[in-house]
Amino acid sequence: MSDTISFHVHGAIAEAVVDNPPVNATSASVRQGLAEAIRKVEADPQLSALVIRCVGKTFIAGADIKEFGKPMADPQLPALLELMDHATKPIVAAVHGTVLGGGFEVALACHYRIALGDTKFGFPEVKLGIVPGAGGTQRTPRLAGLETTIKLTTEGGQIDAAKALADSLIDRIADSGDLAAAALAYAQQLVDEGKGPRSAGALPMPADDPALFEEARKALSRKMRGQSAPLRILDAIRLGYELDFDAALMRELDLCRESIAGPQSKALRHMFAAERDVARVPDLPADTATRPVERVGVIGLGAMGRGIVMAMASAGMPVIAVGLDDGHVAAAMKAIGKMWSSSVAKGSLTQGAMDKRLALIATSDDPRDLGAANLVIEAVTENLNVKKAVFATLGQVTQPGTILASNTSFLNIDALADASGRPEDVCGMHFFNPAHIMRLLENVRAAKTDPEVVATIMALGKRIGKLSVLSGVCDGFIVNRMLSKRSREAFFLVEEGASPAAIDKILLSYGFPMGPFALGDLAGLDVQAAARLARAANATERELRADFVEQMVADGRTGQKTGSGWYSYDENRKASPNPQTDAMIAAHAERHGLTLRDIGEDEIRERLLYAMVNEGAKLLDEGIAPRPQEIDVAMVNGLGWPNYTGGPMFWADQIGLDKVLATIERFRAQQGDAYWTPAPLLVKHAKAGRGFYA
């Protein structure tokens, strides 16, 4: 046996036990050991059946991602599963934990399956841009039918043991928690009853349903827009109707290999790794102590403050919610109750769970009540003087060592730290709106932030289900600083002749969920105008001139909430072209003597995206972002940069930084140094022929 497989004999039943921590991946040694176990059972007339199970927290939870893109040692997984298909003695999979991807395919290739009651099953390959390659698209429909197969393989979600049993993906749920004993007893029962091997490949495909495939294709094209793997998986499932089982398996494997070699899978695998990398702060020792956080305070109960309260309570954290006065507190709690009640009505939250969350929230209009909190998050209006006054108060009313965090999206946290009188306790925790839903948390380390504070807020982010990325202090941190450059170019492009609808359409086709103008209407143009005002002192004359947002706000047009902004909106907030916008742009051009021109799609796309890449390079140069991983993870999860491109810095590497630099230099000649001076790091890497990730 290999070093990851142990072989045991219990009378007539053999047992192959996988021990390949942390997730028992189908590494080469696992494949080799299982193949040897099968051959051993086949060759021994005293053995009548084989049980395959795993030690640790889970059954095989997928392939070994480190093997992707490299020559794989034999036997490869399809060859191992072919051995199972042709075995002459029954093979029983005893599964627990999370049975995913290649591990699920191993279980399905076994002849019988017994599971613990809390086991989960799924095919997450699609999330890495990969088509299942070891029979997932062929054995699953023969056992469970088309509807379950399509949902499992194309969406990447999981089902529980009860659903798997109902869909014939497993045969039995173990009555007790002793899976090993239950599996051996089940195998012995099969032998006693004369049950032989039972290959899923010998079963017929379910009745074809072209309408179901077409409906799935349309739904996936909307839900997972731009991604190729879900549609390829549908093609793979259909192979079962076009080829015999063995030929379908071979073609499925071809599709799997093609998808792994493709750019989307490389990008998605990069994102998978990057999301794990950002949890480890490069210059923060792994053993850095964290401060206890047993109760969180939130001061400021507008939209962001309410969302933060909800995020904390949803994670089981007791919260002290402090508002300006009784009226503000009551309005906030009413809004929170309304949002959770909506979830209850939709069935995504039980009334009991809602009641538990509400019970965790204590309210007050007196900041002194925050003295009981270990962490206080400030979410008052985006005005530096107002926030400085709040931090001065927090420095006095909270206990020494209490972490004081600001949810500001762009203001100077060092100034807030100084105002508190306890700068070592101050940091940024920038949630994204809506805070109880958006996954990204931009944690900000100020100049004097204690390392314990950094370690604590990074750990807390994980505790409340957020994806934490660390940034340094600058205007806008990572996401909003980069977004501001896209907004700048979008406004300039409108001044030069591109329509807002054309700009939005180009970013939609690239893969963003919406373009800058639809996003502005959704967030509120009054909010955008306030942000522009706060930054006006550092804006150029041209940036101030492109005052479209201010013009619309002055006219009472603030976006979706008023039914008019860049677009017009009906009672259902469905957008349509807005003649007032066209008139505003024409009048603006005439007033400032601007000549409008036709602008091609490539120029629009490159100006919007390369402006962000260039700013990302500056963030790295300045040490605001410790690595390109932080930028890619933040932009994908905070702005909706399409994950299947890998994020802006990875995407730029794939294009080639020499080509990116050449285009930026062209824009520099056209638009001026103020907007298109290339980042020194970009120039350095481009000249060296390397990328941000080299």
Q: Which residues are catalytic?
A: 409, 430, 442, 480
C-alpha distances in Å from residue 56, one per residue of 21, 24, 32, 607: 7, 8, 20, 51
Contacts of 596 by beta carbon, 8 Å cutoff, 6+ apart:
496, 497, 589
Which residues lie across from 100 on neighbouring strands?
A: 122
Q: First-to-last CA distance in the chain?
A: 39
Output the six-digit token pair for 525: 């143009």
Question: Nearest Cα to 134, choosing from 60, 57, 53, 206?
Answer: 60
Contacts of 679 by beta carbon, 8 Å cutoff, 6+ apart:
614, 615, 617, 618, 620, 621
Output the six-digit token pair for 362: 């204590």
282 vs 625: CA distance, rounded Å: 11
C-alpha distances in Å from residue 388, one per residue of 168, 211, 368, 380: 62, 61, 17, 11
Strands 296-299 vs 319-322: parallel, antiparallel or unpaired = parallel
* Most distant CA atoms of the chain, gap in Å: 94
Q: Are 473 and 446 in contact (CB under 8 A)?
A: yes
Q: Torsions phi, psi of 7, nearest 5? A: -120, 130
* DSSP assignment of 147-202: HHHHHHHHH--EEEHHHHHHTTS-SEE-SSS-HHHHHHHHHHHHHHTT-----GGG
Question: Nearest Cα to 463, choosing from 279, 635, 626, 336?
Answer: 279
